[in-house]
Amino acid sequence: MAPRPDPSQDLLQGLDRGSLRRDLLSWYRVQGRTLPWRDDPSVYGTWISEIMLQQTTVAAVIPRWREFLARFPDVAALAAADESQVLDAWRGLGYYRRARQLHRAAREIMASDDGRFPATAAGWRALPGVGDYTAGAVASISLGLPEAAVDTNVDRVLRRLLCERAEDSAALKPAALRAAAAALVDPADPGAWTQALMDLGAGPCRVEDPDCGRCPLAAHCRARAAGNTALIPPRAVRPDVVPVVLSLLVARDPRGLVAMPPGREPVLRPAAWGGQARSSYGGLYRGYWRLPATGWYPAASAPGTAAMVRAWADWLGADPAAVHPVGSFRSAVTCYRQEVRVITAAQDAPWRLSQDAEPIPHPDAVRPLAQPDRRALELAEKSPI
């Protein structure tokens, strides 16, 4: 059987790989970003940073990465932690499935091969939450293996580098792009090559108005030569923003904070309020205790705060005079832009709770509350009511 053709060969034809590598790495040694996981590199620190950086900005990750490593300094500490502790440390980073998979992966590492990290990209890909990009990034940066790591930024850099026209970029198959990326890796310093491509995509080769005058690959870039950098890749179609209104209830009685245990929907949905934009947070905060919440109602037709107060008083079996609005804040979850109204209630005798709600019996138990709930709790605690 004849060998399958290498899909990268046509793409790379005419490129001076040696010159291209020298130009990019020379730029990186001067212009590369200073990041804490690069200052004192380790396999563990690199892995944590790459998981955090999925769907999260570098600026947001830097302080959280430091806090996370202070709390879980190595894979053994992470594996030994309870899931609730890991979720609490992840609070505010969003996409909490990443934290759960990170925790599972740490336990798999500790359960196999005496706690040693995988020595190959394939071994990393076998772990929960680790895809091709993360496996390639950790393998090249921390293990010095000639593996490619293609995220959104690197994809954009390579498409501009290799494609003259928008039609060429649209026709470029992911497999061919990955093969080209693998063929371009600098075998002498794959970690620096990976990080240089990341920094180029985050810097001069940005999505809007790329700064080709500062790009170390400008002389090699086919899209620039053809005047098509703004067209490659095409702009992504973003989902429509959906403005919604919901309320969260902060209710305390002698036994503690009224909340919903993990796995139970904390949603109040009076039929008279009509249709909802979304019924709840769904699985976004699985594993967290949640404050009772209403559904998410379209902003244009949402019930007023007074109606929400009455509904919560009915739900608790409380005197409406004991239930108060204390403020609101704005939040964003996926395509939803939320106005979150915070309602408080407190009394000396236990509430008549719904069948799903339970009192959290001690103050430390509020730690696994999800980020919006913690903001609501902080707002309620500052209120004079």
The residue among 201, 231, 261 that closes a domain is 231
Report whether pLDDT(77) > 50: yes
- Indicate which CATH number applies to the domain containing 335: 3.90.79.10
Q: What distance in Å separates the CA atoms of residue 204 and residue 94, rounded to the nearest whole number? A: 27
Decide if 196 contacts 32 (C-beta within 8 A): yes
Q: Which range has the worst mean pLDDT, 24-28, 76-80, 206-210?
A: 206-210
pLDDT tens for 7-51 read 566 789 999 999 999 999 999 999 999 999 999 899 999 999 999
Q: What distance in Å separates the CA atoms of residue 222 and residue 10, rounded to the nearest whole number? A: 14
CA-to-CA dists, residue 383 to 137, 329, 331, 338, 374, angstroms: 47, 14, 20, 21, 14
Residue 280 and residue 142 share a domain: no
Residue 255 and residue 216 share a domain: no
Residue 237 lies in a domain: no
Q: Widest CA span of the chain, in angstroms?
A: 82
Report how far apart the first and last C-alpha atoms of the chain are (Å, whole number): 79
The tokens of 150 are what?
Answer: 């293609």
159: containing domain: 9-231
From 128, 171, 121, select the one nearest 147 (Cα to Cα): 121
Report whether pLDDT(139) > 80: yes
Residue 236 lies in a domain: no
Amino acid at 318: A
Confidence of residue 254 (pLDDT cuts 50, 70, 90): confident
Output phi, psi for 251, to 5 deg: -125, 130
- Indicate which CATH number applies to the domain containing 19: 1.10.340.30
Residue 261 and residue 155 share a domain: no
Which of the residues 50, 108, 265, 339 is marked catalytic?
Answer: 50
Q: Which range has the worst mean pLDDT, 60-69, 248-257, 306-315?
A: 248-257
* H-state helical runs in 145-282: 152-162, 166-171, 174-184, 190-202, 222-225
| Percentage helix, strand, coil for the chain under 3-state DSSP, each rounded to 5 | 50, 15, 35
Q: What distance in Å separates the CA atoms of residue 328 and residue 96, rounded to the nearest whole number? A: 24
pLDDT tens for 44-54 read 999 999 999 99
Q: Residue 1's pLDDT is what?
A: 47
- 50 catalytic? Reply is yes
From 373, 371, 282, 335, select the one nearest 64 (Cα to Cα): 371
The residue among 231, 253, 286 that closes a domain is 231
Beta strands 242-253 and 256-259, pairing class: antiparallel
Secondary structure (3-state) at 61: helix
Residue 114 lies in a domain: yes
Residue 188 lies in a domain: yes
From 221, 200, 179, 214, select the one nearest 15 (Cα to Cα): 221
Q: What percent of the chain has pLDDT over 90?
A: 67
Residue 4 lies in a domain: no
26 conformational bin, left if phi > 0, alpha if psi -120 to 50, beta if neither: alpha
From 154, 189, 164, select the one nearest 25 (Cα to Cα): 189
Residue 264 and residue 122 share a domain: no
Residue 215 lies in a domain: yes
Global model pTM greater than 0.95: no
Q: What is the residue-wise DSSP string for 152-179?
A: HHHHHHHHHHH-SSHHHHHH--HHHHHH
From 4, 98, 113, select the one nearest 51 (Cα to Cα): 98
